[in-house]
Structures are given as C-alpha cells and as structure tokens.
C-alpha cells in the first residue's frame, strides 16, 4: 500500500515569522543558489528503506528518481525501484561524493536527497552539491558543519540560551588532560566523538580506573567510523531520557517544531523504539523544549528537516542539549503518524524555496488530535549475544497487514540478502493509537504477526519489551534494557505442541524424498514409506533468547535434546510423544507453498509455520518464534570434515579484526578482552568465556573472518597445566 494512504500533506500555507540572528542570516546565504528552483528530477544518494521511502514521495509528486547501488546491493529493492539506477562499485562507494555528483549532473538531476547516514551530514558534500549547481535537499553546508562538530555546537547553543550538559568540549585531546577534566566533572562521564552520530564513538566511564580504556575504545571507533578521533567529555546523567524535537525551517525565516519523540529504549547507544508524544512530560516542559529546539535551529540559520536532541534528567526534570542531527531521522515516520504530514514532501518543497505548509499553531492542533505513535526498528541482530549484528538470506518474511494505523517501511523482501557490509536494519514497524495504551497494544499485536526466518532478528525481544510493566506505564530511560535485563532476557518455555508440529512438518516435507521403515532424526532425512511408520526425532533449542531453564518437556539445560516420537496411525493421522506427553489421534495437513502445517489435536487446532534450512529450524506458532537445531551425529561431523571447535572462541558474525588483546601462552580471566572486531560499522569487544590459557591466536589485526570462524583457541586441560 503506498505511503499516501497514511501520509496526508496539507495544502494550507501559513507563516510563523521568527527573526533570525545576524549570524544565522549570513549562514542562510550558503544555499541561495537553490532558492525558488523547481525539482523535476532528483538523485537519492542512499540505500535501503530510506531510498525507497524518499523515492515513493518523489514519484507521487511527479519527480523522476535516480538511484545508486554498490556491487553487494545490485539486486536490492532500492536498486530495482527505478529504471535510472547506477552502480557505484565497491562496498564503501556510497561515500564517494564526487562520483555521485558526477552521476547526478550526467542524468540531468536538479537535486540530491542524501537520506540519513552516509553523506547526509557531510558538510563538504553539501557544499560541493551547491557549487555544482545542484540543490542539496537538506540544510546549508555551514549549518551541517557547525552542528556536526559537537564542541562548536555547544558554543553556539550556549550563546543562544539553549542549556547544555556540563563538560569539556575543547581541542586538547591529550589522554592525561582529558582524564583530569573527567575527574573535575566527577564520574560517571560520557566520552563522545565530536563527529557523526548513531552511538558510534561513544563510551561511558563509570570510574577513573576505566577512563583510559573507554577513551581508547571511543577514539578507535570514532576514527574507523568518521575518520576523526576527537572526543568531548561530559557529565553522564544516571537516569536520563532521550527526548528529541523534530524541527523544520524554510528560506523565509519560518521555523516550526513538530512535536517531540522519546527515544529512550536503546541498546549500544542506538535506538530501537521511538514514540511520540513523550510519556509523562509536563505540558510546560513540552512547550519549553519545543521553543529551545526552534531557537537552536534558528541560531545556525537552519533550513529543511532537522532534529534537536536533548537529554532529560528524570531526577530533576531538567533537559540539556546533546546534539543536532542535520538530516531526516530514521524515526521520522513517528512524527508523520501524529501530525498527518509527509516530511519528505516538506523537504522537497522547502528545497524548492516554498514556505512551510503549516504554522506552529496548526502543527500543535494536529499533534494533539492524532493520538500516539510508536516505531519499532526490526534489526538482524542477536539480542542474547549483546545485540551483535547478523546477516544472511531472508528465507521467509510475513508482515502484518497494512492499515491507516499500521505502517511498514522496509528495504528488504523475502529472498533478499541482508549484507554484512551495511547497517543490519531490515524494516521499521510504525503504529498509531488513540492513546499510548492503545498504541502499545497495536504494536504488540503487529509484532506477533511479523515473521522473519534466516538471520536472527530482534522481533522476539521487541515483543518482550511490549509486555514489560515499566515500559507499559511509561517509566523509561536510556538504561532501561540493562536495568530490566533479568525480565527481558528470561528463558521461554517450548511447549510440547510446538515440537510435535515441527516434527510433523519435517515428516511431511521429507515424505516425497525418502522411503524407509524406521529412522533416527540425527542429521539424516526421514519420511513416509509404504504402510504406517514410526519415527524418532531429536531437536535442540537454538533460540537466541534461550538460557538455562526448565522447560515443559523436562529439560533442565537449553542444550539438552528434545525427543519426539511420531507413529502414523492412519491417513494423515498420528500418535505423537514429546517427552512424557502423548497426543493421540492428531490429524494434520501441510501446505508446501505457505510452509504452514495445520493440525487438529484432541484439545486444540494449531497453525504453525515451519522453515527448515539444513539443520536449522525456525517455527512460528501463536505469535512466538522458536529456533531449533537438528543435532548432527559425531560420525557425520567427521565425514563432513568439520573441525572440533570445542575450545575455540568463534567470530559471532562476519567481521574484520581491529585489535588482538592477547597472545599465545597468556593466562586470562573470565570476561577479559581477547579480540576487538568490527562488523556493520560497529565495534565489538570479544571477551573470554572462561578462565584459562591461550593456546593460539588464530586471526590477527586486519584479517577478515566469516561467522563461526575461530578467533582464539584455549589450551585443553593437559596443556593448561604445563
């Protein structure tokens, strides 16, 4: 369903004249070449869902779209969305601004939309676009430059009367000096790269003893992500909320705030749930934070869409400026749902020189009449393993039905490859309700309908958050996940009916392939033969969320096998034993096209989607996902030449080794850093799972590793004692 179903662009024009400062007025002239210029053709300098989302709005308004792709993205949805699509080549070529400008000029494009990430906050690229006679569909390059430097932005905000967090924002980057500044501020402190965003180059030092290690890590990630390792040091607020304001300004001195978003539910300093309006925010504070955001935008001569981010102290009720994102945010659909406006269309009109479509008063009327919206980011990542990214082919995708109150912005469809080279976000699920309680109910229900098999995703984790009491009541903060870890990562029970359905699906699936009277389901294929057969199957729980727990079938260890015995008693009729539980007279039907097995048990009917990929099985039943593994027999592992990795620490994802912290012969403690890796532009520290002796460092700095590759090998008991 097109975006126009739920994005309503107002035709009304209004003016909110706010006088700019002299500095802001002079800054605004940097984009004068693009004022009052019609856009008939634009190039989208991005990929994935944001490229598709921008392209949809442009097409709805008669604007021709040119898209770009790299070699890994040649079959991606955004590359296929336009007949005008051009290959940039290498993985990192989305950052090749000169080549992108060259393509735009050659294709007769009047403007470039940068989306978010990549070049969207690159002031040099924005300046080059303007000098090349292209409209940069974003703010003036000088505003990007000022707000992209976190130290400079703090100076501007202080001058404009926007409150800032206490800290050191200067040029001195000597580690000893920075530690002294941190000691003055008092711990905990936040170390943050002055360039970029997205949580990269950000670390918390909770004591002076760990300051230098966290500083080194922040600087290393900042250099890898932004090519600049300069950091600032600020007081870390212990019970913060992340509240940001969507602002929009035009070339005529108008600026509006389109409400705020609470983005406090985060992992690795990156957002996974965003909502608007922010819960439990006093009206006076809400209006004040909007006013400060508008002041921030006007102080730098802003134009177009931007987001002013604040940290809100739950203890004191005060808020402080953090940074300004000079682009369209990932979570902009939340604001679109509560205002009824298409913000990409606003961007295009402002870039053409038109005044803003609404006044501040009209915006506020819309906000307070359209209820509450929440966005959940669907990532290919493993929450149980520290939210490390995952990649691979999307073997199965089934999404909730789209309505006016349920929206999905996706960059992938079933059969697509989630690349290890880029951000692991698969889609965004956005819902709207008349109030927050209704919005959460709709989000929970939609997540239960969302099925993805292939890479591990965070969908089950998002469902758990929706059931969390403090989230439901709006008691949120940026440390929510860590503080609720025991609740959010509790083990789920695998009911006997799930295992029975998986066993039946496997038998139906293999029925046409193998004929045999009896079979052991340990890596071999089984199926129906002539007459009625008995089958013995073994599964182990490989769920990303599984931990040691007692299950319904009596297992006390997540790795303990589940034994399932199936006996055919008639045409499509079975007797099934799962542990001590026996189901008699079960009839079933398997639809090979939908991969759904429908079974009638004596007490209920079950519809279960079962996706089998080699030895891995993913099942979806009544809104819950289950991951199972068919264990291979030892003789088969040897026959396949599989290496014993019992004493190895494995790469959790495709990655590049950034640093090796140990060497052969070292004695290490549990949780001691072993190797630092980078994947999808995220730095991850691989820590020791045990106390022991390092026998071998398998991969060195700079090596590229596949998922499951040994990084470090531990000595066996005999070797460790020598």
Query: Look-up: residue for tokens 């209820």?
Result: 371
12 is catalytic: no
Phi, psi at 20, each rounded to 5°: -80, 155
Residues in the chain: 722
Q: Residue 391's CB: how many other CB atoms inside 10 A?
A: 21
What distances in angstroms separate CA 415 from CA 76, 392, 680, one per listed residue? 10, 10, 20
Residue 150 CA from chain centroid, whole number: 24
List 327, 432, 436, 612, catalytic entry: 327
Residue 501: enclosing H or E segment and its boundaries? helix 496-510
Given a contact cutoff of 8 angstroms between Cβ atoms, the answer to whether 553 and 496 are in contact is yes
Strand partners, 233: 168, 191
- Separation between Cα atoms, residue 644 and residue 631, nearest integer Å: 15
Given a contact cutoff of 8 angstroms between Cβ atoms, the answer to whether 391 and 455 are in contact is yes
- Separation between Cα atoms, residue 589 and residue 261, nearest integer Å: 47
At residue 113's C-alpha, the angle toward residues 108 and 116, to 5°, is 155
Strand partners, 86: 68
Task: Pull the structure tokens for residue 404.
Answer: 């006016």
Query: Cis (ω within 30 of 0) for the bond into 682?
Result: no
Residue 419: enclosing H or E segment and its boundaries? none
- Separation between Cα atoms, residue 311 and residue 403, nearest integer Å: 34
First to last CA, the chain: 67
Locate the DSSP E strands across 298-341: 304-313, 319-325
521-556 burial code (b ≥16 CB/10 A, e <16): bbbeebbbeeeebebbbbbbbbbbbbeeeebbbebe
Q: Which residues contact 233 (CB under 8 A, 6 or more apart)?
A: 167, 168, 178, 181, 182, 185, 189, 190, 191, 192
Of 119, 130, 327, residue with least CA distance to 226: 119
**3-state SS of 631-686?**
CCCHHHHHHCCCCCCCCEEECCCCEEEEEECCCCCCEECCCCEEEEEEECCEEEEE
- Separation between Cα atoms, residue 121 and residue 263, nearest integer Å: 20
Q: Which residues contact 131 (CB under 8 A, 6 or more apart)?
A: none
Query: Cis (ω within 30 of 0) for the bond into 277?
Result: yes
- Separation between Cα atoms, residue 196 and residue 210, nearest integer Å: 24
- Separation between Cα atoms, residue 673 and residue 139, nearest integer Å: 42
Exposed/middle/buried for 486, CB within 10 Å: 0-12, 13-18, 19+? exposed
Query: Look-up: residue for tokens 């959940």?
Result: 376
Q: Which residues contact 607 (CB under 8 A, 6 or more apart)?
A: 596, 597, 598, 621
Strand partners, 613: 616
Residue 720: enclosing H or E segment and its boundaries? helix 717-720
- Separation between Cα atoms, residue 667 and residue 645, nearest integer Å: 19
Of 396, 398, 523, residue with least CA distance to 455: 396
At residue 268's C-alpha, the angle toward residues 208 and 445, to 5°, is 145
Of 450, 562, 384, 418, residue with least CA distance to 47: 418
Q: Catalytic amino acids?
A: 327
């Amino acid at each position: 369903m097109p975006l126009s179903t739920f994005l309503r662009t107002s035709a009304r024009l209004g003016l909110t004249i706010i006088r700019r400062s002299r500095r802001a007025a002079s800054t605004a002239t940097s984009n004068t070449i693009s004022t009052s210029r019609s856009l008939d053709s634009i190039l989208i300098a991005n990929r994935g869902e944001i490229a598709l989302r921008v392209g949809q709005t442009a097409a709805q308004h008669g604007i021709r779209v040119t898209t770009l792709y790299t070699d890994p993205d040649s079959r991606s949805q955004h590359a296929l969305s336009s007949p005008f699509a051009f290959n940039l080549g290498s993985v990192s070529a989305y950052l090749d601004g000169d080549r992108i400008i060259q393509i735009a000029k050659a294709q007769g494009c009047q403007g470039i939309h940068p989306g978010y990430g990549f070049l969207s906050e690159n002031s040099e690229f924005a300046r080059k676009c303007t000098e090349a006679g292209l409209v940069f569909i974003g703010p003036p390059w000088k505003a990007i430059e000022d707000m992209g430097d976190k130290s400079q932005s703090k100076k501007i905000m202080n001058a404009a009367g926007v409150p800032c967090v206490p800290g050191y924002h200067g040029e001195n980057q000597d580690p000893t000096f920075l530690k002294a500044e941190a000691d003055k501020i008092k711990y905990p402190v936040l170390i943050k790269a002055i360039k970029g965003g997205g949580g990269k180059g950000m670390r918390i030092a909770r004591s002076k003893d760990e300051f230098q290690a966290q500083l080194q890590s922040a600087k290393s990630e900042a250099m890898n992500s932004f090519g600049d390792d300069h950091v600032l040091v600020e007081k870390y607020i212990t019970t913060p909320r992340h509240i940001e304001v969507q602002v929009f300004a035009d070339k005529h001195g108008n600026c509006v705030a389109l409400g705020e978003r609470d983005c406090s539910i985060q992992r690795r300093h990156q957002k996974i749930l965003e909502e608007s309006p922010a819960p439990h925010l006093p009206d006076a504070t809400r209006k004040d934070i909007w006013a400060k955001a508008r002041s921030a935008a006007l102080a730098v001569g802003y134009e177009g869409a931007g987001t002013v981010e604040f940290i809100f102290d739950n203890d004191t009720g005060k808020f402080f400026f953090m940074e300004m994102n000079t682009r369209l945010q990932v979570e902009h659909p939340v604001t679109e749902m509560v205002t009824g406006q298409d913000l990409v269309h606003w961007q295009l009109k402002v870039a053409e020189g038109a005044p803003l479509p609404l006044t501040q008063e009209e915006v506020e009327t819309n906000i307070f009449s359209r209820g509450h919206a929440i966005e959940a980011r669907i990532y290919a990542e493993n929450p149980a393993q520290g939210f490390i990214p995952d990649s691979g082919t999307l073997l199965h995708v089934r999404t909730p039905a789209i309505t006016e109150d349920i929206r999905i912005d996706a960059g992938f469809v079933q059969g697509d490859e989630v690349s290890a080279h880029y951000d692991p976000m698969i889609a965004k699920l956005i819902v709207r309700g008349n109030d927050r309680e209704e919005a959460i109910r709709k989000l929970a229900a939609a997540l239960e309908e969302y099925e993805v098999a292939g890479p591990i995703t965070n969908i089950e984790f998002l469902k758990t958050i929706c059931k969390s009491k403090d989230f439901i009541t709006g008691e949120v903060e940026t440390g929510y996940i860590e503080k609720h870890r025991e609740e959010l990562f509790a083990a789920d029970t695998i009911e006997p009916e799930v295992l029975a359905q998986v066993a039946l699906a496997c038998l139906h699936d293999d029925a046409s392939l193998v004929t045999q009277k009896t079979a052991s389901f340990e890596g071999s294929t089984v199926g129906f033969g002539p007459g009625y057969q008995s089958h013995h199957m073994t599964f182990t729980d490989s769920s990303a969320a599984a931990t040691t727990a007692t299950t319904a079938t009596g297992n006390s260890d997540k790795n303990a096998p589940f034994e399932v015995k199936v006996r055919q008693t008639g045409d499509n009729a079975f007797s099934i034993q799962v542990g001590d539980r026996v189901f008699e007279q079960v009839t079933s039907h398997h639809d090979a096209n939908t991969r759904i097995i429908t079974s009638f048990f004596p007490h209920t009917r079950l519809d279960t989607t079962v996706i089998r990929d080699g030895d891995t099985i993913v099942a979806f039943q009544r809104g819950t996902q289950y991951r199972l593994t068919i264990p291979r027999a030892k003789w088969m592992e040897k026959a396949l030449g599989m290496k014993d990795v019992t004493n190895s620490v494995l790469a959790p994802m495709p990655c590049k080794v950034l640093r090796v912290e140990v060497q052969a012969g070292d004695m290490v403690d549990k949780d001691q850093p072993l190797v630092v890796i980078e994947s999808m532009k995220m730095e991850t520290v691989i820590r020791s799972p045990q106390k022991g002796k390092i026998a071998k460092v398998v991969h060195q700095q700079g090596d590229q590793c596949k998922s499951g590759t040994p990084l470090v090998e531990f000595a066996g008991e005999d070797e460790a004692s020598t």
